[in-house]
Amino acid sequence: MSKVKRHTKPFRIAILGPQGSGKGTQAELLARRHHVPHVSTGDIFRAHLKRQTKLGKKIARLLATGTLVPDAVVMAVVRDRLNRTDCKDGFVLDGFPRTIQQARFLSTLYDDAYLVVALELSDREAVIRLSGRRMAPDGTIYHVKYKPAPKALRARLIVREDDRPVVVKKRLRQYRTLTAPLIRWYEKRGMLVRIDGALSIPVVAKNVARQLLNRHST
């Protein structure tokens, strides 16, 4: 991979998309390429789940029913993470913001000085993708078709609660209800970049990089 020119201003990106759109993968690729932290609310919450903290137990109950974590809780967790010194030159947010309230909170922190990538994917394709997703004991995510786990590990893989079809469909409905207005909100502010998330990972990554380069160069 070619060396990326560092930006004179912080590289702040938020990636939106329904479950299965690949936002975690694209966020990780972007963060690595631009030498900034990949800040995933999902990873933060799973760490609490693993440690069985008070917050982790609350999240476990919510995930079991496909209910989203309340805005106040999410915003407090994100604020704490973004206040760390490794985020001073930028970050790639994955899973945040999800609601208008969260977006207003983030814009208050950074005065709209960030861009938002929206990965677009149909509900049908999202369910197909997620039905094959599996998680290893260390939290690594595999897919029976797109990213098979090593044979020695396959017997230990589990289906996450939030990947069960009934939960996925409920969360997709929530996403459409809560995030569709959010996408329009960002679009009106000129901060949104739309990307077809149904394409292959390398093609999506190339399209994201090209669109962000165009926006940062203007």
**In the annotation, is 98 catalytic?**
yes
Q: Which of 12, 81, 129, 133 is catalytic?
A: 133
Q: For this structure, is 133 an active site residue?
A: yes
Active site residue 210: no
Catalytic residue among 81, 129, 134, 171: 171
**Residue 13 DSSP code:** E
Among candidate residues 33, 46, 160, 194, the one labeled active-site is: 160
- Closest of 208, 206, 201, 39 to residue 129, by C-alpha: 201
Is 154 tagged catalytic? no
Instruction: Give residues with Cβ within 8 angstroms of 155, minimum separation 6.
Output: none
23 part of the active site:
yes
The pairing of strands 90-94 and 115-120 is unpaired
Q: Are strands 133-135 and 38-40 parallel, antiparallel or unpaired?
A: unpaired
Catalytic residue among 81, 98, 129, 134: 98
For 56, residues 6+ apart whose C-beta sits below 8 A from its C-beta are 45, 48, 49, 50
The residues, ordered by sequence, that sit 6+ positions from 85 with a Cβ below 8 Å of its Cβ are none
Active-site option among 23, 81, 129, 134 = 23
Radius of gyration over alpha carbons of the chain, in Å? 17
| Catalytic sites, residue numbers | 23, 98, 133, 160, 171
